[in-house]
Amino acid sequence: MAEKKEDASNVMAFDALYTTNQIQKLKVLLPYIEPSMQKHLAVYIKYMEFQYTLNYTKRHPTTLSGCGLSQPEKPDLRKLCKELSIYSTPEEIRQLEQIQNLLQTFETVQEMTQTMNAMKEIFPDLSMDGLAGQFSGSSDDSQNAASPMMDMLMSMLTPEQREMYEMFEKGASYDK
């Protein structure tokens, strides 16, 4: 439960910025109002929030720094997916999880690329084409020499990540 509150902090910051205590009091009173009047009060509350937001943005034409929206650093997309899942349907959650997995795969591929580049600097005689060609089905001696290294790197991947890597490799071979 505490994790959900932490993940919803941007929503709470936004709500705090674009509302007043008077509006919040009306929200607290809403369940205690006669049921036939609740929908009218709910519309009135939203109208007051809209009116307040319009006035606030006219008075403060700057960015939403109070909500953490104007951060100079690169956004954490996996964290964003996690935050969005709180308010999502099961199907949307599944899609967000797929996006998170894809982002993780991209990070893994980037790490592998950096590792391969570092290895190329350390072992200049090691053929990177041989490593990349391992999955394309060709088999020359340089690829066979690099095979144990590629096997080791590929063993670090999950089956989904390996499938994604192979898909990227096939796409790269079509580009040539």
Phi, psi angles (nearest 5°) of residue 13: -65, -45
DSSP 138: -
Instruction: Convert the pLDDT of each residue in 47-92 to its tens digit.
Output: 999 999 999 889 887 765 545 555 557 778 888 888 888 888 999 9
Instruction: Convert the pLDDT of each residue in 115-131 to its tens digit.
Output: 888 877 887 766 545 54
- Residue 157 CB partners (closer than 8 Å, separation 6+): 108, 165
Of all residues in the chain, what percent carry a pLDDT higher than 70? 72
| More confident site: 176 or 42 | 42
- CA–CA distance, 87 with 97 (Å, rounded to integer): 14
pLDDT score of 29 more than 60: yes
Angle between helices 159-175 and 90-122 (to 10 degrees): 70
Tally of CB atoms within 10 A around 145: 14
pTM of the model: 0.48
